[in-house]
Amino acid sequence: MGDITSLTPLLGVIVGGGVSAGAGAWTSWLSDRRQSRREDAVFWRRERLDAYVEFSAAAKSYVAVLYRLAGHRGADPAARPITKELAQPLLDAAFHRRDEAYERLRYVSKSDEIEEKAHLWVRAIRGLHDLVDADDLTAATWAAAVEATNLDRDVFLMAVRNEINSQETQFR
């Protein structure tokens, strides 16, 4: 009987230590899992932001060449004029860069809204390109088209800000 009574505290210590170790391991696992999820979310937030910035910069590069073409046609007095022949390689490179950036945006975007707004902006840019080639290009039609394109850009940027900010507040 004496042996059993001396084993009882020992068994209590062993069981208590096991429960404590198990609880510690469980808590550590939960903490690691939470941290891993947060790191994944931060990683993808950065990827999205990088893709959106890359797309915006590529689209603006393309538009900058269009401004110069409009300047050559007399529709944009603020632009440094460039002929169609000199602009074509620049347009081709800018188009390719924007197209690649758009594909990346489509892969990492979290919402269809971003892709939709980017597509609307691209359509407006395509309208600028068509207008530069039009016979009836005037400073007034160019200014109106640029304003409409800038509005589509602002709508895209607002959608990006909303998505990025909603992801940011998720972990506060």
Q: Pick from 52, 44, 62, 47: which is nearest to 102 by CA?
A: 52
The reported pLDDT for the residue numbered 34 is 78
The reported pLDDT for the residue numbered 167 is 62
Q: How far apart are CA 51 and CA 102, in angstroms?
A: 8
pLDDT digits (tens, 9 = 90+) for 125-162: 999 999 999 999 999 999 999 999 999 999 999 999 99
Q: How far apart are CA 169 and CA 144, in angstroms?
A: 37
Q: How far apart are CA 137 and CA 69, in angstroms?
A: 11
User: What's this model's pTM, rounded to 2 decimal places?
Assistant: 0.77
pLDDT band with cut points at 50, 70 and 90 for residue 21 = low
Contacts 24+ apart (CB under 8 A), 163-166: 163/48, 163/110, 163/111, 163/113, 163/114, 164/45, 164/48, 164/49, 164/52
pLDDT above 70 covers a percentage of the chain that reads 81
Q: 38 or 71, which is more confident?
A: 71
Q: Where are the domains of the chain?
A: 45-169
Q: 161 or 39, which is more confident?
A: 161
Give the angle subtended at the CA of 119 by the CAs of 163 and 59, to the nearest 5°.
90
Give the angle subtended at the CA of 130 by the CAs of 124 and 132, to the nearest 5°.
105
The reported pLDDT for the residue numbered 138 is 95
The reported pLDDT for the residue numbered 172 is 47
pLDDT band with cut points at 50, 70 and 90 for residue 13 = low
Lowest mean pLDDT among 1-15, 27-41, 133-147: 1-15
Q: Which CATH number fits domain 45-169: 1.20.120, 2.40.160, 3.30.70, 1.10.287?
A: 1.20.120
pLDDT band with cut points at 50, 70 and 90 for residue 168 = low
The reported pLDDT for the residue numbered 29 is 66
Backbone φ and ψ of 78, nearest 5°: -85, -15
The reported pLDDT for the residue numbered 140 is 96
Q: How far is the CA of 95 from the CAs of 8, 47, 98, 160, in angstroms?
A: 79, 22, 5, 22
The reported pLDDT for the residue numbered 110 is 85
pLDDT digits (tens, 9 = 90+) for 80-115: 999 999 999 999 999 999 999 999 999 999 889 999
